[in-house]
Amino acid sequence: MNMFRAKSKFRVFRPALWRSTSARTLATLTLSAGVYLPAFSYGNEDFFSEIEVDTQTQTSSRFSFLGYVQQDAHYGISSPDANLGFARTESGLSAAKTSVFSQVKIDGSDTDSHWMFSAKAETNWVQWQEDKLDITPNHSRIFLKDAYFDTRFENGAWLRVGHQIIAWGESEGLPIADVLAPQDSRAPGQAELRDVREQIPAAKLNLPVANLNLELVTTYKAGSNRLASADEPFYPYQQLDNNGLTVQHLGPANEWEFAAKLAYQFNGGDIAIIAADSNTNDYTTIDTNDNTVEFQQGRVAALAMLANKTFGNWLLKGEAGAFWNQPIQSPTPFKTNQYRFMAGAEYSGWTNWRMSIELNGAVNEESLADSNQDIGYVLRISQNAYNERLKNQLWLLNITGDLGSVLRWDSTYELSDSWQIGAGVILYSATNETSPYYIFKNNDEVLFSIKYSFY
């Protein structure tokens, strides 16, 4: 998803255009832009989620099992604008979600192959109806997470088939090298990149080629970025609903996607080239018929490059990519070639502290806005204390200048190897009425969590 395409499309909504276009059409196009939230969204299935990997004591030499139960509570500290049609119109509990995750791993007898299966169930206990809080189970879902088989061959090749994450990029603010992985954007700004990538059905073959490593990936029905539903706080089509318009998502023209990554590792760094023929993970408007707005994923050809290198306490990283026939949302949607970049640095020379900054941007060959380029940045400061049991993070996400920003602080504390508690606050800012965050400017939240892990 690309926040910079979001800016291009929103900048065309200038006063003159508003005067010359029907209110319904403008509302359609403006709020349809809500599907672009994944470009600068980090919302995950839970705010304080951890990387779900098997690092704990195995119950046998070939079988391991782990999981957790987590309770999250979100309290809206502001009152959303009643005219925008949100279910919650006053400060109060906005979500109370119970999540259960479990993972099973079975190693083969030859130790060169294994099976992995994991799934997650969640239920939200809060629902607002007619300006009243109703405590009742809703949005009960079960998600398939990692579910795959992998094996290693004698020549060093490695094959993984099944539901898995294809994590190729490092950019927190703009997908560049991550050409395949969709993101969970139901709660924008509330988790980092590693926690919002979604698993997809794929076959990945890893081949050693001289001193290089080649990865070949094919996917089928990989899906798109996950969006909030109509009664959740960050539903992107709220104003379309307010105008009596129906949203319809069409399937992509081609369900198959193909990508390849050629990587080289050297002392203290990596460099890689990625090529892909894939669907965009976001939707753009393709047609408006009567009271129905149709959205569909686009198809792009992509070529990207990434590199990183450590210098003492510094880590420098960068990504650059070209995307041909990239769909652009606008009053008259069109396609153009788009070029994206990211440059970042991280410093870890202070005891228990880490600081990082990322500058990202995109340039369109064609644009209906005054400028065809967009810039944003991500700033993060983190601290570990008490033998790394306490972790604090402060995030500032600036979304291409006047599109808006997100300020987030969160803290987690491990009471024991099994118990963890967390708290945080997230503030949204948008002054430009054409910003995709503008309708969420009063969705500031305080967050709490408690988590029990079992092995």
Least confident of 113-117, 302-306, 357-361, 436-440: 436-440
Structure tokens at 339: 């070029």
Closest CA relative to residue 104, chosen from 126, 89, 91, 119: 119
Is the predicted pLDDT of residue 5 greater than 80, yes or no?
Answer: no
pLDDT of residue 76: 92
Is the predicted pLDDT of residue 41 greater than 60, yes or no?
Answer: no
CATH number for 233? 2.40.160.100
Q: For 189, left (φ over 0), alpha (ψ -120 to 50), or beta?
A: left
- How far is it, in rounded angstroms, from Cα 139 to Cα 123? 6
pLDDT of residue 400: 59
Q: How confident is the model at residue 21 (pLDDT cuts 50, 70, 90)?
A: very low
pLDDT of residue 368: 66
> What is the arithmetic mean of pLDDT over 423-427?
94
pLDDT of residue 175: 92
The 10s digit of each residue's pLDDT in 68-79 is 999 999 999 988
Name the burial class of residue 149, with classes exposed (0-12), middle (13-18) and buried (19+) by CB atoms within 10 angstroms of its CB.
middle
pLDDT of residue 18: 33
> What is the arithmetic mean of pLDDT over 338-348?
96
Number of domains in the chain: 1
Which residues span the domain enclosing 437?
3-454
The 10s digit of each residue's pLDDT in 238-252 is 878 878 888 999 999
